[in-house]
């Protein structure tokens, strides 16, 4: 079971997040890809997030997925992601790498 943090409202001053632990047909039909390599770039109008896998025999990551979003959505993404990390730590304890 995956705990989902879903952005439910976004305005310039308010980002609301709803927690749910249910699997739905909507999420079950998605292809899952593992990522341990990340690359982020930006311009004045967008953020570009590349996700991939690092293969030690190649010596470099193989990027397989690209997400492009506007600055407002990038900020909302960070807020939801940070809330999800806080919830993870509350349920499972600290995260070893870079734990604060």
The boundaries of the domain holding residue 88 are 34-92
Q: Is residue 44 in a domain?
A: yes
Q: Is residue 26 in a domain?
A: no
Q: pLDDT means per 10 residues in the chain (100 residues)? A: 56 57 61 91 94 86 94 92 92 77
Predicted local distance difference test score (pLDDT) of residue 68? 96
E strand or H helix at 20: strand 15-20
Q: Are strands 60-69 and 47-55 parallel, antiparallel or unpaired?
A: antiparallel
- For residues 55-89, b (16+ Cβ closer than 10 Å) or e, as one string? eeeeeebeeeeeeeeeeeebebbebbeeeeeeeee
Q: Is residue 64 in a domain?
A: yes
If one counts the domains in the chain, the total is 1
Q: Is residue 20 in a domain?
A: no
């Amino acid at each position: 079971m995956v705990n989902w943090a879903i952005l439910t409202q976004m305005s310039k001053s308010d980002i609301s997040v709803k927690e749910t632990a249910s699997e739905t047909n909507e999420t079950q039909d998605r292809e899952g890809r593992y990522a341990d390599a990340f690359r982020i770039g930006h311009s004045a109008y967008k953020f570009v997030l590349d996700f991939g896998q690092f293969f030690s025999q190649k010596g470099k990551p193989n990027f397989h997925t690209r997400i492009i979003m506007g600055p407002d959505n990038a900020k909302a993404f960070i807020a939801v992601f940070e809330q999800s990390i806080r919830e993870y730590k509350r349920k499972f304890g600290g995260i070893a790498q870079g734990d604060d």
